[in-house]
């Protein structure tokens, strides 16, 4: 009987080998793509139940909400928990929610979380060498070299350049007196002009010619076709280990390549002419020359690709975040006329009879609070990630994080937490003034990050935006118009905060 049973089994295998092979493949794929799904359960961490292949990325593949709103949903789901788990495909991501843990990771125990998470793909070196992507000692070396470029004295010297850009902005808006204007684009032209002039000595002509080539190229850098988005997400979900062999990036490669060509040409012209300018590019070139002179044969941090990477980062990151801040600040003024009047009176009172300079701008406390409150409610970047670089135990818990594990910091969730910012949907600049500001830990305002890996260009951004706001308040009154959305709807496809239908306001000359 035993022999007969064996023969039947062999006969079945021979007859049904295709079915058996198919079932084996399905079982193997299921096992592989769910192999990490017990990651948080083993550690005793609350987590969102994942779906095979997608993990928890379903809401981003078929978005009914913006990324900003999606991150708020995640924060509120885990509300009350010190941390929580999510899966991006098969990759586990540990979100940190507890304020003390946020401080530990960003400041106190920063050495365990020096690195940002990035797509470690086979992308061009002028992308992989930016401060966002550099890790460990290389990041520290480049950051320390670049930091003096954003000192108070450097910013003071840039004031004439910024004032020129501000005047161009006023002339641009004068053409739209008593008309409705889409402010995200309009302020994008201003920030592009300021960065072009202050960073590279490039006159972009964005405010004098909306079709200027440089402006059109920069505006396309985040435009990625739907097929390419799907391709990137499929690789992230199904073949994350293949990323290192592929040229993958979330920014438009054609626009980026053209921008780098322009920046290289500017750099070559600067070196050939020996003309010194007071801009970011000159400071970086001088720092690179000094480093080569001092280091001799030792490691050089600022090679040409690294210089190009920082220039590109400054341009792209500064353009998007500063234009978002300015346009939403104007939107708030238009929708809250009483705050606009209070802000205008404050500016006029402080600067009356004074030459507008860096020190006077620093005295505009209510303007600064207004801008910080705008960043709190309309945080351009909803989440930042960190990579654990050496094994670490989360304070106040027994949770062990291993080197290589990914950590997420929910910026917009912290900013809209009623336990940290009472009545978070109310726009109230006083949160960032006096005792209320002093009593709240500084690491709980995360628009520029926190700790050593915060935004290196934050001072330049605030300086240029303050100057723009002073000019706007002195020259224009902003009100709502027929196209003004209240509340504003956010774009569902973009990772960075962006209005779905623009930020339209009515402009009237004073």
- Known binding positions: 455
**Cα separation, 280 vs 179, whole angstroms:** 36
Question: For 73-95, what is the HEC assignment?
Answer: HHHHHCCCCCEEEEEECCEEEEE
Distance CA(493)–CA(226), nearest Å, equals 10
Residue environment code for 420-444, b if the CB has 16+ CB neighbours within 10 A, otherwise e: bbeebeebbbebbbeeeeeeeeebb
Q: How many helices (H) and strands (E) does the chain have?
A: 22, 9
Element (H, E) at 28: helix 17-33
Contacts of 19 (CB under 8 A, 6+ apart): none
Token readout for 74 is 């995640």
190 close to 165: Cβ distance less than 8 angstroms: yes
Residues 6+ apart with CB under 8 A from 459: 150, 152, 155
User: Which residue carries 């009545």 as its tokens?
Assistant: 423
Query: How far is residue 274's CA from residue 287's CA, in Å, rounded to a whole number?
Result: 15
Q: Which residues pair with 92 in a beta bridge?
A: 87
Give me the sign of the Cα torsion angle 480, 483, 488, 493: negative
In the block, which residue shows the tokens 């020129």?
Answer: 164
Binding-site annotation, residues for heme: 455
Could you tell me which residues come within 8 angstroms of residue 451 by beta carbon, excluding any fewer than 6 positions away?
106, 107, 110, 443
């Amino acid at each position: 009987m035993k022999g007969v049973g064996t023969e039947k089994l062999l006969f079945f295998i021979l007859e049904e080998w295709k079915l058996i092979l198919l079932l084996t493949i399905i079982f193997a794929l299921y096992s592989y793509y769910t192999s990490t799904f017990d990651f948080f359960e083993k550690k005793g961490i609350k987590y969102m139940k994942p779906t095979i292949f997608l993990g928890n990325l379903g809401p981003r593949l078929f978005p009914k909400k913006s990324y900003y709103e999606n991150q708020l949903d995640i924060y509120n789901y885990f509300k009350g928990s010190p941390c929580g788990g999510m899966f991006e495909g098969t990759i586990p991501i540990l979100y940190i929610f507890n304020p003390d843990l946020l401080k530990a990771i960003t400041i106190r125990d920063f050495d365990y979380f020096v690195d940002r998470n990035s797509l470690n793909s086979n992308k061009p070196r002028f992308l992989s060498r930016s401060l966002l992507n550099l890790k460990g000692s290389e990041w520290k070396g480049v950051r320390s070299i670049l930091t003096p470029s954003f000192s108070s004295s450097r910013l003071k010297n840039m004031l004439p350049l910024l004032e020129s850009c501000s005047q161009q902005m006023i002339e641009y808006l004068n053409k739209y007196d008593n008309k409705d204007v889409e402010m995200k684009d309009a302020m994008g032209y201003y920030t592009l002009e300021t960065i072009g002039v202050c960073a590279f000595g490039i006159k972009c002509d964005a405010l004098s010619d909306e079709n200027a080539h440089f402006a059109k190229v920069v505006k396309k850098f985040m435009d990625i076709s739907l097929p390419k988005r799907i391709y990137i997400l499929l690789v992230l979900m199904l073949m994350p280990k293949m990323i290192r062999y592929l040229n993958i990036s979330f920014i438009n490669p054609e626009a980026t390549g053209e921008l780098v060509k322009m920046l290289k040409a500017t750099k070559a012209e600067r070196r050939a002419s020996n003309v010194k300018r007071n801009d970011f590019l000159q400071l970086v070139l001088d720092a690179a020359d000094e480093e080569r002179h001092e280091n001799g044969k030792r490691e050089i941090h600022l090679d040409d690709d690294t210089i190009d990477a920082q220039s590109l980062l400054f341009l792209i990151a500064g353009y998007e975040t500063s234009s978002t801040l300015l346009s939403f600040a104007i939107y708030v003024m238009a929708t809250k006329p009483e705050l606009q009047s209070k802000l205008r009176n404050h500016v006029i009172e402080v600067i009356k009879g004074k030459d507008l300079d860096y020190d006077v701008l620093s005295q505009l406390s209510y303007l600064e609070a207004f801008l910080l409150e705008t960043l709190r409610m309309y945080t351009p970047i909803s989440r930042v990630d960190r990579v654990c670089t050496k094994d670490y135990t989360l304070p106040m818990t027994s949770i062990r994080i291993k080197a290589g594990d990914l950590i997420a910091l929910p910026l917009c969730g912290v900013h809209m937490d009623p336990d940290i910012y009472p009545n978070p949907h109310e726009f109230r600049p006083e949160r960032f003034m006096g005792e209320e500001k002093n009593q709240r830990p500084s690491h709980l305002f995360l628009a520029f990050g926190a700790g050593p890996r915060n935004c290196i260009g934050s001072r330049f951004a605030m300086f240029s935006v303050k100057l723009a706001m002073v000019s706007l308040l002195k020259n224009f009154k902003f009100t709502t118009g027929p196209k003004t959305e209240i509340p504003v709807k956010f774009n569902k496809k973009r990772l960075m905060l962006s209005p779905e239908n623009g930020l339209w306001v009515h402009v009237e000359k004073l």
